[in-house]
Structure 1
């Protein structure tokens, strides 16, 4: 696994705090995988899931922030390069937000995007 730099993918302190709390509440996972997959009305969607370090791929990139490890596969990193992963709370809406300079358009519901 390769470590990647903040020039390739950045995480806000709020996102790191959210992931750290989520991992603590989960208790059984070693880290979080974030990525991009084909889905949604615009073609791609972001995802994140809990992972066990034993089940990660040797080609994964890793962001190591103290007690939290975030894994990203090469294909997803290509789509995410230059992005900021943030956590926001807006009224009743809260969650992880991707500020991706590679996204050309976002669908009306905000769940998927076009590259």
Structure 2
């Protein structure tokens, strides 16, 4: 019998994009390998098995636009454009280092359907 643990978001204040402690730790580790101060941009684009795909990449904080949503995690910024936020507000980003099924996990309260790959969804 296996038990699944639910990881709690890293911070309690209401945020449009929530990161668990494990996701934040992994993202910070990846950013450290880049060797410079970067923020994480999370968004969506058309495509994927279910119609929309998640996007996630590091970028220079100087690229943050005035209309972007910016969430601070103890000095680390998670950024998203307003159009993407229509589809992902309340998203929980988690990370698992399991050998099978590991990696980043997106839990989106706005998704009516998700794909088995875990990176695309429909609303």
- TM-score norm. by structure 2 comes to 0.80
The structure showing larger relative contact order (alpha-carbon pairs under 8 Å, at least 6 residues apart) is 1
How far is 1:74 from its partner? 0.8
- Structure 1: gaps of 5 or more residues: none
Match of 2:117 in 1: 109
**What is the root-mean-square deviation in Å for CA atoms of aligned residues?**
1.7
Q: Say if 2:88 is the partner of 1:80.
A: yes
Corresponding residue to 1:22 among 16, 30, 33: 30
* Deviation string, structure 1 residues 59-99 (Cα, Å, up to 9, x no partner): 11111112411111111111111221111122244321111
Match of 1:10 in 2: 18
Q: Is the 8 A contact 1:19 1:68 kept in 2?
A: no
Q: How many residues align?
A: 111
Corresponding residue to 1:44 among 28, 34, 52: 52
Q: Give the SS at the match of 1:96.
A: strand
Distance 1:109 1:12, change over 3 A: closer
Which is richer in strand? 1
- Structure 2: gaps of 5 or more residues: 1-12
Corresponding residue to 2:97 among 55, 71, 89: 89
- TM-score norm. by structure 1 comes to 0.85
Q: Give the SS at the match of 2:102.
A: strand
Distance 1:27 1:87 in 2: 22
